Structure 1
Amino acid sequence: MEQNQLENKKFDWRLFLALVKGTEPPLGIVITALLMSLMTTGVGFAVPLFTKNLVDGFSGQSFTGGQITILVIAFVLQALASGLSIYLLAKVGHHVVAKLRERLWEKLLHLPIRFHHNNETGQTLSRVTNDTGILKELITDHLTSFVTGIISIVGSIIILLILDWKMTIVMLLAVPVAIIIIMVLGRQMYRVSKTMQEETAKFTAVLNQVLPEMKLVKASNAEHVELERGNKGIRTLFTYGLKEAKIQALLSPLMLFVMMLLLVTIIGYGGVRVASGALSAGDMVAFILYLFQIIMPMTQLSMFFTHLQKAMGATERIYDVLGEETEDADKGKSIQRVDGDLHIEHVSFAYQSDQVLHDLSFTAPAGKVTAIAGPSGGGKSTLFGLLERYYEPTEGTIRLDDTPIQDYKLHDWRRQIGYVAQETALLSGTIRENICYGLEREVSDEELERVSEMAYAKQFIEELPDGFETTVGERGVKLSGGQRQRIAIARALLRDPQILMLDEATSSLDSSSEIYVQQALQNLMQNRTTFVIAHRLSTIVEADQIVFIEKGRITGIGTHEALFKQHDLYREFASQQQLLAGKME
């Protein structure tokens, strides 16, 4: 059903022109390329006329050194102009695509988290790589033949009308037939290619999901599952590839058939006119040569229009991304320091129709530790997302003292936050680059060693062959879970944040490492507003207050002792944790 809707959707070629215009292609280069194309075609126009004179006045004396020299120079100039035109248009094509990719990349970086959660990474990658590549192919490979083809066809028809207008009229009867073929098959190509681009994006998404998680695939013996999922995408692409091939197989032979039929008709009709004396033999030869200058470009034009249909589909997909609303990171008040209380007032939140948080209200005092506890799936991480302004509350507000946090500049607000996730995020690069990630200043070796020592990371880093310059691999696969977690803690320490957000920050550490990291975090928490998502009792027992959330609702607020006495589910939670801790000992 979805594929049929994609195939039946009409395109607007003006979108493509607007997209290209938005990249500000260098007009000087475009004009130069067009002039070179005109020169190339102009020389092509002279050859049939030269041949006509040669045939009509054929004799040994008809060849002169000057004529031959002029002809050789003309051919050399034609070759140089043609090569220069192709290169310049290719340069324009690469310029357009580079600008488009820059624009898309900037857009993706400034889109809110909501967009990235709602769209698979593979499909987004396909927009930046595959779709822009289709546009580049159209400009670099087919625009030259389109421009020269149009010039060649128009110029040849004008000359043919001068040579013999009756034969030209007969020839022009084939033009409507060719246009109908291009239009009908072109629409089919657009529908098929648009769906194929969508299926390519889905297949890319599968690859992007599976390849980084190959350990999970093998540990789950899920090779057969992913094999079938991948093969399904490959078979779908194969099916639509065959549909494209069928259209191409129809288009080129049909155009060739029309052109050959026209050639036979012209030769027959022209032979009659030569026999009657209405046309000279030289005129007939020139007419046929000009006819070839129409037939060949017509075939090239058909190829251009089929690729144009594919470019239309790519254009629409690119516009889908460019049309998304971005975050305005510089809108609002500047903020250099967070030293007030954070008030969460009647905050509710829903992912589309799925209500996650319901009327949350509490205050996180400045410089104190607020632990967020409760069963899994209760909305704790979503609350963190609202505090970091990845999302906006659907109801209610979050204030810093009397000012809603939405009134502050987004960059300034996030600069105040140090975040350590339960699943540590590392980028491919060195340990130094990951600890310093996002900072706009130079970090000294002394600073780097200090925060690494506080995060209990210095010892294992120094044992690595290249120390801080050791590469961590894709997503940090060369490090253990505990090592990745300590690097993330060092990153948070280096930012010297006013608000700490710890999503079970010590969950990946062994007992001895956890002691040191807890001490480091305790030092860091001094005089800082800290939020802790906690599953372990040891993490939250010393918190200034605990907010217990069940199914998106607050069911208890207080210290560990108060909640243990008054809150049944918290008491059960704490007892289970104490029992677990006793067994581990």
Structure 2
Amino acid sequence: MSSKPASFTKNPLKGWVPFWRLIRETKPSRSALAIALTLSLSSTVTALIVPLFTKNVVDSFSLSSIGVPQISLLVVAFVIQAVTAAISTYMLARVGQQVIAGLRERLWRKLLALPVTYYDNHQTGETVSRMTNDTAVVKGLITEHMTSFITGIISIMGSVAILIALDWRMTLVMLTAAPLLMLVMVPLGRKMHLVSKSMQDETAQLSGVLSQVLSEIRLVKASNAEDREFESGMKGIRNMFKLGLSEGKVQALIGPLISLIMMLMLVIIIGYGGFRVSSGALSAGDLVAFILYLFQIMMPASQIAMFFTQMQKAIGATERINETLIDTEEVLETGVVLTGANKPIVADHVRFTYESGGEPVLDGISFVIPPGKVTALVGPSGGGKTTLFSMLERFYTPTEGTIRLGEEPIDSYSLRSWRAAIGYVQQESTLMTGSVRDNIAYGTEREVSEEEIQRAASMAYADRFIDQLPNGYETEVGERGIKLSGGQRQRIGIARALLRDPSILMLDEATSSLDSESEHYVQEALRNLMKGRTTIVIAHRLSTVIDADQLLFIENGRITGRGTHAELLSSHELYRKFAEQQLQAQTVQ
């Protein structure tokens, strides 16, 4: 087990502090809470009147003693109790829903602000589980158990106060149940905390597996990997089943043990009370009132016990939520606002490793990318080209060295303005669920007109297929753009970049996986996009970057050659082999 659960067993209150702090930070409505608590108090006080009424009836029982006023008083008490209980329950449920909505808002805002490095180390499904499953546990505690906990506390305190006034000796005998309850509930609460925390972890892991498999279901089916993925999912399901059984055992013990203790107390009260009645120290009405108040203590005590078991589950969920909330996030607005990026991009002895002490992905590279020119990154796979792109987008920070725009380090500019200056077209453009129009305008911070969207689509040669779609620009593209072809997705991605009008353009060889017709249109669209912009291209095929102003040959994290195509052919042996191999491949085709 981890150190956190171990520390909890030594100090049960330790896990409650961050839980209540988290709830408090959502700023629940104090007025709604005050109204709910006031009504709960009224409802409970009204319920406490009934045993006293019964006591008087028993002590002076006769038909003449039960009249219309007494019956009316009892009916009014029941009606007031029902109405106040209903309103207070609704108010507390409303506050609970507001708390969870606020918590989910904080989490969602945080997840969008976390850097790419966070997602490198956390599965998407696990992260989604924090947003849905963990918050659902907290919601269940507040909306389903908080009401009964508050009313139960009030009911027990009121009942005990009245019982002390009636007969303090009998009350003292009854209160011996409290230490017995603590002996039962404390170890069970600790066990529930450990089990529930493991359950939340296992749920998150299973969500990660399901999310990954279902998002790549075409690969699974094409690879005949259904059986393998079924077993992968079943492993998590079996683990959750075992943890669920452990949780069920704890819950199965709580109810019967509390009932056993309470029934024991009932027997003691009846026996001891009967003795005191027979001796004249207690009236029959007092004994009846004691028994009724005991039941008003027994039911709330059971509900409070369930509240504390659910509380342990909520604490386990809260620990994971807090871990996400305290993680370092990106700050978009801090820094100088970038107003013009028509300057050279300079890398000065940049070194980068993904893990401390690990092998460097980039090992002291230096280069200058001139403004308004095309620079191509070429070389074998795994050389560090994609990592360099990520660093230019400031997804990662250099372990050593600096990247500058002109004379200023790029991290001196605000992250929002820096990324707004960059247009990125991936090897396979990713689309979001929504319409064609939504995807072209995606990420544009200003209001864009219909004419601007259509002009961008036209320059990207996307209007040629958009006009043929069933609903034109309103056509839904499906999850990740699955309803469109690769070439169509690329052209929408280029239209999106054109609409942003970036100063710096980054292309991850956007034509490498397209058929010849789609490649033709995409190449034409890219020419429109590259005009007058600082362009950096990851080249998988040398034929697409022969005319680049500068080529940087990157292998094993180092730049081993730089120059034009002709210069590298004559000076760089590995580049020459690359060029010859691709030329031979094209000749064979």
Q: Where on the TM-score scale, by shorter chain, does this alignment land: which range?
A: over 0.9
Q: What is the SS of the residue equivalent to 2:404?
A: strand
Q: Deviations over 1:139-166 (max 9, x none)?
A: 1111111111111111111111111111
**Counterpart in 1 of 2:11?**
none
Normalised by the size of structure 2, how large is the TM-score? Answer: 0.97
Q: Are the equivalent residues in 2 in contact too, given 1:341–1:366 (CA < 8 A)?
A: yes
Aligned to 1:371: 376
- Partner Cα separation in structure 1 for residue 234 and residue 5 of structure 2: 22
Letter aligned with residue 120 of structure 1: Q
Distance 1:36 1:237 in 2: 40
1:229 aligns with 2:232: yes
Show CA shifts across 1:282-338 (max 9, x none). Answer: 010001001111111111111000000001011111100010111111111111221
8 Å CA contact retained: 2:46, 2:77: yes
How many percent of aligned residue pairs carry the same amino acid?
Answer: 58
Shift of residue 39, structure 1, vs aligned partner: 0.7
Task: Give the distance between the partners of 2:288 and 2:518, measured in 1 at CA.
Answer: 91
Corresponding residue of 2:294 = 291
Q: What is residue 431 of structure 1 aligned with on the other side?
A: 436
Q: Equivalent residue for 1:385?
A: 390
How far did residue 354 of structure 1 move? 4.1
1:180 Cα deviation (Å)? 1.7
Select 2:485's aligned residue among 473, 480, 483. Answer: 480
Moved over 3 A (4+): 3-9
Q: TM-score, normalised by structure 1?
A: 0.98
Matches within 5 A, 1:102-251: 102-251=105-254
Q: Aligned AA for 1:523?
A: N
In the alignment, the residues of structure 2 paired with residue 428 and residue 200 of structure 1 have an alpha-carbon distance, to the nearest angstrom, of 26
Unaligned runs of 5+ in 2: 9-13
* Residues 1:563 and 2:571 aligned together: no
Where does the alignment leave 5 or more consecutive residues of structure 1 unmatched?
none
Separation in structure 2 between the aligned mates of residue 512 and residue 577 of structure 1, nearest angstrom: 20
Contact 2:494 2:529 in 1 (8 A): no
2-side partners of 1:77 and 1:161: how far apart?
A: 26
Distance 2:544 2:5 in 1: 55
Give the deviation of 1:6 after TM superposition: 6.6
CA shift at 1:48, angstroms?
0.3
In structure 2, distance between residues paired with 1:30 and 1:449: 53
CA contact (8 A) 1:372 1:533 kept: yes
User: How far has the Cα of 1:489 moved from its partner?
Assistant: 1.1
Asked if the contact 1:357/1:553 (under 8 Å) is kept, the reply is: yes
Structure 2: distance between partners of 1:515 and 1:148: 72
Residue 448 of structure 1, CA deviation: 2.0
2:155 aligned partner, one-letter code: S
Shift of 1:511: 1.7
CA distance in 1 between counterparts of 2:285 and 2:527 reads 98
Q: Does 1:457 align with 2:427?
A: no
Match of 2:519 in 1: 514
The Cα of 1:571 is off from its aligned counterpart by: 0.7
Do the aligned residues in 2 keep the contact of 1:348 with 1:359 (CA within 8 Å)?
yes
Distance of 1:508 and 1:436 partners within structure 2: 25
The separation in 2 between residues aligned to 1:378 and 1:79, in whole angstroms, is 72
Residue among 305, 308, 312 paired with 1:305: 308
Q: Whole-Å Cα distance in 1 between the matches of residues 341 and 168 of structure 2?
A: 84
Q: CA deviation at 1:167?
A: 1.1
**1:70 match: secondary structure:** helix
Please give the secondary structure, in 2, of the residue aligned with 1:419: strand
Instruction: Look up the SS of the partner of 2:233 in the other structure.
Output: helix
The 3 A distance-change label for structure 1 pair 61 and 209 is: same
Which of 412, 419, 429 is the aligned partner of 1:414? 419
3-state secondary structure, aligned to 1:362: strand
Alignment partners' CA distance in 1, 2:547 and 2:280: 111
Query: In structure 2, the residue corresponding to 1:181 is in which secondary structure?
Result: helix
Q: 5 Å matches for 1:311-322?
A: 311-322=314-325
Moved more, 384-393 or 158-167: 158-167
Number of equivalent positions = 582
C-alpha distance in 2 between matches for 1:206 and 1:512: 38
Is the 2:423–2:505 contact (alpha carbons within 8 Å) kept by the matching residues of 1?
yes
One of 500, 508, 518 as aligned partner of 2:505: 500
Does 1:532 pair with 2:524?
Answer: no
Is the contact made by 1:6 and 1:194 (CA closer than 8 Å) also made in structure 2? no
CA drift at 1:442: 2.7
Q: Which whole-Å deviations, capped at 9, do the CAs of 1:458-478 have from their partners, x for residues lacking one?
A: 111111100111001111111
Amino acid at match of 1:213: E
Cα displacement (A) at 1:230 = 0.5
Cα 1:250/1:4, change in 2 over 3 Å: farther
Which one of the candidate residues 50, 55, 66 is aligned to 2:53?
50
The 8 Å contact of residues 436 and 476 in structure 2, kept in 1 or not, is answered as yes
* Preserved CA contact (<8 Å) 2:490 2:522: no
RMSD (Å), alpha carbons: 1.2
The answer to whether the 8 Å contact 1:456/1:513 transfers is no
Whether 1:12 and 2:15 are equivalent positions in the alignment is yes
Instruction: Give the Cα separation in 1 of the matches to 2:153 and 2:531.
Output: 74
Aligned to 2:80: 77
Query: Deviation of residue 9 (structure 1)?
Result: 5.2
The alignment status of 1:471 with 2:479, answered yes or no, reads no
CA contact (8 A) 1:33 1:89 kept: yes
Name the aligned partner's letter for residue 17 of structure 1.
W
Distance 2:522 2:153 in 1: 72
Match among 347, 354, 362 for residue 351 of structure 1:
354
Would you say the 8 A contact 1:537–1:578 is kept in 2? Answer: no
1:396-421 deviation line (CA, Å, top 9, x unaligned): 00111101010011111101100001
C-alpha contact 2:347 2:368 (8 A) present in aligned 1: yes
Q: Hey, what's the Cα distance between the residues in 2 that align with 1:214 and 1:477?
A: 12
Which amino acid in structure 2 is aligned with residue 514 of structure 1? E
CA contact (8 A) 2:47 2:77 kept: no
CA apart distance, 1:4? 5.8
Question: Aligned to 1:527, what secondary structure does the other structure show?
Answer: coil
Q: Which residue of 1 aligns with 2:332?
A: 329
Mapped contact 1:6–1:191 kept (Cα < 8 A): no
Conservation of the 8 A alpha-carbon contact between 1:454 and 1:517: no
Contact 1:7/1:195 (<8 A) preserved? no
Tell me the distance in 1 between the aligned counterparts of 2:52 and 2:518.
89
- Conserved 8 A contact 1:430-1:472: yes
Alignment CA distance shift 1:541-1:401 (3 Å): same
